[in-house]
Amino acid sequence: MRIVQKYGGTSVGSVARIHAVADRIIALRQAGQEVAVVVSAMGDSTDRLVELAREVCAQPDARELDALLATGEMVSTALLAMALCNAGCRARSWNALQMPLETTGPAGRARIARVGCDGLKRDLAEDVVPVVAGFQGRAENGDLTTIGRGGSDTTAVALAVALDADECQILTDVDGVYTTDPRMVPEARRLPTVSFEEMLELAGQGSRVLHLRSVEFAARHGMRLRVLSSFEPGPGTLICEENPNVEAPVVCGIAFNRDEAAISLTQVPDEAGVAHALLAPVAAASIEVDMIVIAAPRGGRVDLTFTVHRDDYARALELARNAAAKYAGAAVTVDDRVAKLAIVGSGMRSHAGVAAKLFATLADEGIQVRLVSTSEIKVSVLVAEKDLERGVRALHAAFGLDRAQP
């Protein structure tokens, strides 16, 4: 079997951890598997590089920021390759320029266009373990790029597809995908399997256990994707096609994220095209808008509220203010103390009353819902950040996700 394994930041966070990862790779090879490895930067070193850049200047040049951030993964690939060689296992580190792993799109948000893996295939044929730097790529002009925070998962899946691997394993600091983040809800349960479409929603709504694009990529190519602990043995969670013989759970999990901010434009004229006029400048700045609600018009005026990622908040606010200035009487209000939570499950398609139960549960907790957005298999709501944890816990219990107590 050919396996691509990806080790996240905590899993390669110290010299001792790097040796432990090397031992694990060697054991897998001794069991007869062919292994290619992708690694993240050590521990929180990417965060520290971002801080360093911000100490130098408030708005670092995007090209240079990518050049800096890409160094984190180069450190861990070289160290892991050294540890493997030292333990008697031939290994070679690879960065995106060497492979090359080609990307398109802007710095910091580049997308993988092609994975050059001739050298990696040669390594595998010669019994050498290739150790690849996650998160980075090479732009058309030869510049180093990065593909978005948490992106090493996506590098791993792209590599698994390019190498025609049998499975892509994401080794991390939890032993699988849980019904919700086990750090927030200790009653959360590990899920043995999750369907691609449920995992897409969970990742899209903020479960950072897998990078959203890694799930998209794996689903598109039918790549078996497994989340495992890098610390202890276990079956982990397999992300795969839905099992047609088993009834899908109504709610399989709850995702949440604190990274949103809400911007409201109030008292704008209720005219055709006004939403476009207000949101077009935000879109033109490549700022992704998540939830949108337009309140029922009163006296020829409406309120429009939308949410964006907190990193884009200041820019979106400025653009919204400029757009609203064109309408006399319109005002802009903001709230960055909001959070989003979402219940996800394929069984929702065939069950009525899921949203009603969500609203009832939150109402019992005295939690006010600010915005709602739904898909066939998801209901997500925006709440005050202070209510987030209480809301997640209450919903986790209400939808029967809590682990049975011994």
Of residues 229 and 266, the one with the C-beta less far from ligand ADP: 229
List 4, 5, 9, 239, residue binding ligand ADP (CB under 6 A): 9
Distance separating the N- and C-terminal Cα atoms of the chain: 38
**Share in percent of the chain as helix, strand, coil (round to 5):** 35, 25, 35
CB of 10 to ligand ASP, least distance (A): 10
CB of 10 to ligand ADP, least distance (A): 5
List 72, 130, 134, 150, residue binding ligand ADP (CB under 6 A): 150
CA distance 302 to 274: 10
Is 346 a binding residue for ligand ASP by CB under 6 A? The answer is no
List 183, 220, 298, 386, residue binding ligand ADP (CB under 6 A): 183
Is 402 a binding residue for ligand ADP by CB under 6 A? The answer is no
For 25, the token pair is 């790779």
For 392, the token pair is 């997640």
Of residues 122 through 161, those in contact with Mg ion by CB under 5 A are 150
List 7, 94, 135, 256, residue binding ligand ASP (CB under 6 A): 135
Of residues 135 and 399, the one with the C-beta less far from ligand ASP: 135
Of residues 3 through 22, those in contact with ligand ASP by CB under 6 A are 8-9
List 46, 95, 180, 237, residue binding ligand ASP (CB under 6 A): 46
Q: Using the 8-state DSSP alphabet, how is residue 126 labeled?
A: T
Buried b vs exposed e over 128-158: b needs ≥16 C-beta within 10 Å? bbbbbbbbbbbbeeebbbbbebbbbbbbbbb
Is 40 a binding residue for ligand ASP by CB under 6 A? The answer is yes
Helix boundaries (H) for 137-211? 152-162, 196-204
CA distance 179 to 364: 22
Of residues 55 through 84, those in contact with ligand ASP by CB under 6 A are 72
List 114, 208, 310, 315, residue binding ligand ADP (CB under 6 A): 208
10 binds, among ligand ASP, Mg ion, ligand ADP, none (CB under 5 to 8 A by kind): ligand ADP
How many residues bind ligand ASP (CB under 6 A)? The answer is 12
Write the DSSP string, 52-90.
HHHHH-SS--HHHHHHHHHHHHHHHHHHHHHHHHHTT--
Amino acid at 38: V
183 binds, among ligand ASP, ligand ADP, Mg ion, none (CB under 5 to 8 A by kind): ligand ADP
Q: Can you say how many angstroms the Cα of residue 94 is from the centroid of all Cα atoms in its chain? A: 24
Quote the crossing angle between the two packed helices 196-204 and 212-221, to the nearest 10°: 160
CA distance 77 to 130: 9
Of residues 210 and 319, the one with the C-beta less far from ligand ASP: 210
Give the footprint of ligand ASP on this chain (CB under 6 A). 8-9, 40-41, 46, 72, 134-135, 149-152
